[in-house]
Amino acid sequence: MQITCPNCGQTITAEHINIQKMAAVCPACHHVFSFDLPTAKTKRRKVKQPGGLTLRDEDHLLSMSFRTNWRLERNENLLGMVIGGSSMSVVTALLVSEYFSSGDVPFILPIFIALIALVMFYAAAVITYNKTHISMTDYEIQVKRGPLPATDSTPQRIDLAGVVSIGYEETVASKKEGYDTPRYRLWAEMADGTRRTILNDLVKDYAAFISQRMQEHLDDDLAMMEDAYDTASIGRLIDADGKADAESDEIVDLDQGQQMQGQWR
């Protein structure tokens, strides 16, 4: 492929081209320009935003949040906690009644059973009410859950340094157990090929949409970094070209001075 200057038509030689960043500087008129190589464009299919997911996309911040990503009546943990809490409540009521009627039941026993029921109901409230919050800046990905305190409320952070792509795949447990609703893991792939988990236990439409929007945000950040690198690279090209011209003028001036000295002699 031959590259010519759009300003003066001069053919650009290899030493004035930055092929990695698709930028060049003309040695004749010093015009700096970018160019494109002919490549086949591929279309990326857009994934529809799930109804239960809230999205906010700004210049330097991508944030998403959702309460749950599958039907609550199909959540085994939630159903177990509700049924268990209800059962413990019934047992507590029976023990309290027995305590006041006969006094044969130890006073501490209904209190202990009631505490178990409260813990189960609280766990059900956490599953139902808490939200998963994902935020992605130019520097990191953060995942946290709230507002109710829980064992998984500690924010998880992933540094974007070295992250090259965002993707998802079905979890090992989902494949092994053959879930009716397959669950997926959202991951960040590093430059060395390793994958760091961002989120687990997502259904496919959530995993596909979240990974797509995060990949788009990552691509935008990489493009901005490339633009900044382009500016620096082009500046170096201009400096190098100007230095070469100055050295050439110096040599010409020196030759002319030597010729003039020869004539005087």
Q: What is the pLDDT of residue 116?
A: 96
**Higher local confidence (pLDDT), 39 or 82:** 82
21-35 per-position pLDDT tens digit: 677 888 888 888 887
**Closest listed residue to residue 141, CA positions, set 96, 98, 199, 87:** 199
User: Which residues lie below 8 Å from residue 159, measured CB to CB, with a gap of 6+?
Assistant: 139, 140
Tokens of 239: 């400096």
CA distances from 193 to 7, 165, 169, 189 (A): 43, 10, 15, 6
170-222 per-position pLDDT tens digit: 999 889 988 888 899 999 988 667 889 999 889 999 999 999 999 999 887 66
73-124 per-position pLDDT tens digit: 677 888 899 999 999 999 999 999 988 888 888 889 999 999 999 999 999 9
Give the mean model confidence (pLDDT) for residues 55-71: 84
pTM: 0.62
Judge contact between 12 and 27, C-beta under 8 A: yes
Q: What is the pLDDT of residue 243?
A: 55
Range list of β-strands (E), 104-248: 131-136, 140-146, 156-159, 163-170, 184-190, 195-202
130-152 per-position pLDDT tens digit: 899 999 998 899 999 988 888 87
